[in-house]
Chains A and B, each alone.
Chain A
Amino acid sequence: MWCLWTAVAFGQGDHPVGNIFNPQATPAESIAHLSVLVLSVCGAIFLIVGGLLAFTLVRFRDRGNDGHEPAQVYGSNRIEVAWTVIPFLIVFVLSMATARVVIAIQNKAVPPHALQVTVIGHQWWWEIRYPELAIVTANELHIPVSSLAKPAPAFLKLQSADVAHSFWVPQLAGKTDLIPNRTNTMWIDPRQTGTFLGNCAEYCGTQHANMLLRVVVQPEAEFNSWVAAEKAIAVDSGAALFFSLSCVNCHAVSGTSATGTFGPDLSHLMSRATLGSGAIANTPETLRAWVKDPQAIKPGNLMPNMQLNVRELDAVVSYLSSLK
């Protein structure tokens, strides 16, 4: 309960603990089922061999009662064959099980109207594009919930704008890397709504630790209204000062002259639970603190302290607060 409270308090949503044995989507589930077989086999081997070892240590300890050496046994070909063949058989069984799951996950056919999302990794945030819906956002991947009756898998194309990253939301799927100059693919079909927390899982530099990922799974209706809101152009009359500053060199706001791609898209900034890819929660106070000095919150990240004076800060924050 305390975990849940802290999770909600920190804006971590309803699924903050990425337990690989609590799968909520098909790929993670196939892996969890396979792991039952693997853990049973490994567990049995441990108990048998470990048990024999423990028995040997007790039964054959030197009790010092005579000065004779024990019988000098050099080996046994039959025993060697036995404990070569049995492991081979175990390897065979595990190989078959492994191959089946690899093929099921990697070679899944893409249904014709499946949701397609492109995720592009950056140092230290996630660019998320829905090409068919003409939406661009950052750090939170919204997808509609799936079910066994009505499957709605989302297919992700994974790319990188700089160094290698890795997409890992343990309750949904195994991790797949985002490698520059290469496109990888994966799919997820979460069957529970809520926000699933994940991390970048390939060391990518200073703030690798704070490159968090949120997969927001919504009922279909809610997802559709999110899409509609995202498509709406974000504009505010108090924007004049914003556009005269250099923010527009890095950030994009749809429907405006701000088309920068080095930093996250800000079109619907206020719809997100956090700022800085999970560095802090998104509230009026933290937004002001971030714009004032992002280095104090996520040191080493690529947004410099722009040294805004109070008037500029007021204007920028008021403009950003309007980007719902």
Chain B
Amino acid sequence: MATINDILERPREAEGVPPPSKLHDWLVTVDHKRLGILYIATSLAFLAVAGLQAALMRAQLAFPNGKVLSPEVFNRLLTVHGTAMVFLVGMPFFAGMANYLVPLMIGARDMAFPRLNAFGYWIYLFGGLLLYFSYIAGEGLAGHGTAPDVGWFAYAPLTERAFSRGTSTDYWILSIVLSGIGSTASAINVIATVISMRCKRMTLGRMPLFVWLLLVVSGMVIFALPPLTAAQIMLLLDRYLGAHFFDTQAGGSAILWQHFFWIFGHPEVYILMLPGFACASEIIPVFSRKPMFGRAAMIGATIAIGLLGVSVWAHHMFSVGMAATSNIFFAVSTMLVGVPTGIKIFNWLATMYGGKIRFGTPMMFCVAFLFQFLIAGLTGIMLAVAPLNWQLTDSYFVVAHFHYVLFGALLFTLFGAIYYWFPKVTGRMLSERLGKWHFWLVLIGFHMTFDPLHFAGMLGMPRRIYTYAAGRGWEGVNLLASIGVIFQIAGVACLVWNIVRSARHGAQAGKDPWDAWTLEWSTSSPPPEYNFAVLPEVRSSRPLWDLKHPEDPDWKYE
């Protein structure tokens, strides 16, 4: 006789239907937790592939006049590495974290649109596979393949048919259009979920900062993706239907592409980075044993970044010959957006100050994030000063700057987030010992690679060159940078081994291994499919703190 439990847990078995296979479950799931895991696992797989592509590039650049790779292969690597890291690793990381954690953190049972969620994941996956398929399509393995080689921002008119024969640019366009649909779907889902599905008495002001940051990111995605998609469609029209938007040989404008691209491209880098802030804003308070210092200021600063971030795009175009007034405007707006970003660093610092800092692996990654993001922000200010930008743009200084942001800040918080939430997702702890090895190896490798590259830029080394001559002052820094890759690979290998081992043999995590304060830690690990048997009711932004400390609850002070 089927009990109510049987029907809830295994409805089809209760009716006498045989259980579907695990693979089938994963393929048809609309459960936000499973889709979140699929997003994160897929983005980590692309991270590994694109990372190895970069390792090959560094092998070619270790010595002057390198003969490891031909210019064609190198130029394809740099294009696919950049495109994959931004669209197939960074943005899906946002989608994955949001889809898994937002419903749990706001006390909901799923996202507002579960089927849209699934659609978004699968179209992202196929878009990503289309990009890599370009390596073997077209001329096929006998030739060089037709992977795109126009750089990840694909400036016109290099992308026009006259200069990019074959179909490589078309693979770049179509794979991004497809995966962009996935990101937009997640953004719409997050906004709808946050607006309409918060649990009882969770006002917007009581939402975890993680949710706030992802809400703002979602707004930026909806703003930023359309100009990119529009520009890509215009490029397709140029390439196949005789349009001349960017076709300078027929009077089109190369600069028009740059404006469209960077109106997407600058909010995009905030879209990439803010989910990292979201993770740090959850981990740092818990490991400092204090609430976030200045919650309202953090929320305000996030909104300011979202709004100001759409007014700075032409700082990527300081050298195209805009008028002095335009250059000055964008220099000032770029420096201004540094103010709310700096405020965030100060607030994280103030959260730790006066606390009792525990140096578990998630926190170690967040501490490194703070130092590295500070440096990244300061090199960003240097780049905002337009005349200095005229020297440093399109050089290895910029490469070093944005890798400090995307690797030193974003990837480090991603690593921290994996150690922090893996117990919740799988029910087992990751090994702290392997975690420390992972941390120190990537820390050393990251700095060995990217610190010297700042100097390469200041010594005149432009970016996107497949080789360089001796005697320019670039040999030493490039060799050092290439050696750093070895440490990074070793560190990531520790992570992979940690995940594989701990998934089966890790210590049992229980509901709340970190003694944290947000709603996801009130469920079992992993959470049941329905998340909460009874939807919660909250009185403050730290509902579990209130439960654990009834004599000193947050709602007395908020």
Contacts and interface: CB of A to CB of B under 8 A. Distances in A.
Interface of A: 3, 6-7, 9-10, 12, 16-21, 28, 30-31, 34-35, 38-39, 41-42, 45-46, 49-50, 52-53, 56-57, 60-63, 69-76, 79-80, 83-84, 87-88, 91, 94-95, 97-99, 101-103, 105-107, 123, 158, 162-164, 166, 168, 170, 173-177, 179-182, 184-185, 197-210, 278, 299-300
A21 B388 CA distance: 11
B324 A103 contact: yes
B352 A98 contact: no
Interface stretch (B150-158, B481-489, B490-498): B150-158
Given A12-B471, A91-B336, A177-B321, 19 more contacts: A12-B469, A28-B391, A31-B388, A38-B381, A38-B388, A42-B382, A60-B357, A74-B558, A79-B350, A94-B384, A98-B332, A102-B387, A105-B387, A106-B324, A166-B319, A182-B254, A201-B463, A209-B468, A299-B70
Interface in B54-105: 70-72, 75
A50 B378 CA distance: 12
Q: Name A's interface SS.
A: mixed
Interface string B355-395: 11111000000010011001100110110111111111111
B226 interface: no
9 contacts: A50-B371, A60-B356, A74-B293, A75-B296, A84-B343, A163-B254, A181-B252, A182-B254, A203-B150
Interface size class of B (residues with CB under 8 A): 35 or more
B335 A162 contact: no
B289 A17 contact: no
A204 B394 CA distance: 12
B151 A102 contact: no
4 cross-chain pairs, A with B, having the tightest CB-CB distances, nearest first: A174-B390, A18-B460, A209-B465, A6-B471
B378 A42 contact: yes
A207 B459 contact: no
Interface string B330-351: 0110011011001101100110
A101 B345 CA distance: 30
Contacts of B385: 34-35, 38, 94, 97-98
A16 B472 contact: yes
Given A52-B349, A70-B290, A201-B395, A19 B459 contact: yes
Given A87-B339, A98-B331, A50 B390 contact: no
A60 B352 contact: yes
Nearest to A41: B381
A209 B346 CA distance: 42
Nearest to A185: B321
B381 A94 contact: yes
A139 B261 CA distance: 31
B312 to A, nearest CB: 13
A6 B470 contact: yes
B21 interface: no
Nearest to B293: A75
Contact of B354 (A42, A60, A174): A60
B391 A170 contact: yes
Contacts of A197: 460, 472
A12 B460 CA distance: 14
Contacts of A174: 319, 387, 389-391
A61 B387 contact: no
B394 A201 contact: yes
Contacts of A98: 328, 331-332, 385-387
A21 to B, nearest CB: 7
Given A101-B387, A208-B464, A299 B338 contact: no
Of residues A31, A75, A182, which shows the largest number of chain B Cβ atoms within 10 Å of its Cβ?
A: A75
B391 A91 contact: no
